[in-house]
Amino acid sequence: MGKWEPAAVRLDIVAHRWVGTDAGGAYLRRCELDVARTARGITDRWTLPLPTPGGPLVDPIEGRARAAAPTPRRAPLRLVGRIASHARVPSREATMTTGSFDALATAVVGASVASQWTPAVLEWQIVGVEQDPDAGGVCVCGQTGLVQLFTIRNQHNDARLFPIGSKCINQFGRADLDRDVDVLPRLLRLREALDTHQRVDLTSEHFSRAVLAYLHEQGAFPPDRWNGNDGGNDYQFLLTMFDKRKKDEITQPQLRKISVILNKKVFPFVRSDERLTEGPS
């Protein structure tokens, strides 16, 4: 199985050692693996001992993972063990102050079912985004000056946190939330353009490949006889037209088709997307 490039976290086995062979007359007792974890541009290395037959892989309470020996061309090593409830993931240190991250962790974990940061962040989804032109928003972490005000909802207990900024949501380390943080403000601006009767074309001013993918995933292209009962055909057509570097090569029939799909499907969907209108409840 090859690498999956969009993955948020990648694990690679970079080395392994057998223990117990001695001079050749003993039994193999265990194998130690050096595992490299790459996430958000930061690489950590662990040494994981595979156990004797019947033993646990890693003790679930105390843990046996330890920092691997340094090798050339790798990021500085960090000790990896059990993560405390508010423990900081190393890659987040460069983007938030300790106080801000601790305040974020307290708010998120305190409103979650899980009692630790790592499983707690998996419980949340973005359900709304608003814009404050005066930058008067104050994030749950205490940071001021928010313009984009997101609402997140816990899928298990229906708890909500508002407002929370995009940088804090990025700390969750989830590719789906990172995508939404990028896409939803774009769609909010698109809706505002529609509400103020501005001209909206299939350009990077309001669209992106991620925006089109989001619209497709959310059902903005219902099947009908014009797309062969497959909304994916509308999506692929718009994506192909959006990717054209020379827009003057788009034909008049293609322009008419773009206009029909935008006006009949995309714009009504954007106007009705509850995540672009929902604030705190």
Chain segment 209-224, per-residue pLDDT in tens: 999 999 999 999 999 9
pLDDT tens, position by position, 229-261: 999 999 999 999 999 988 889 999 999 999 999
For 192-261, give the secondary structure using H, E and C.
Answer: HHHHCCCCCCCCCCCCCHHHHHHHHHCCCCCCCHHHCCCHHHHHHHHHHHHHCCCHHHCCHHHHHHHHHH
Determine the Cα–Cα distance for residues 88 and 98; give it in Å rounded to an integer: 9
CA distance 5 to 260: 34
Note if the pTM is more than 0.85: no
Note the pLDDT of residue 13.
76
Task: Give the CA radius of gyration of the chain.
Answer: 24
Instruction: For residue 1, give the nearest of 12, 14, 9 by alpha carbon.
Output: 12
- What dihedral do alpha carbons 194, 206, 39, 177 form, nearest 10°? 10
Q: Residue 46: its pLDDT value, please?
A: 64
**In the predicted model, what is the mean pLDDT of residues 138-161?**
94
Place of tokens 């199985």: 1
The domain limits of the chain are: 9-67, 90-173, 178-276
Backbone angles phi, psi at 16, to 5 degrees: -150, 150
Is residue 6 very low, low, confident or very high in pLDDT (cuts 50, 70, 90)? low
The bridge status of strand 144-146 relative to strand 137-138 is antiparallel
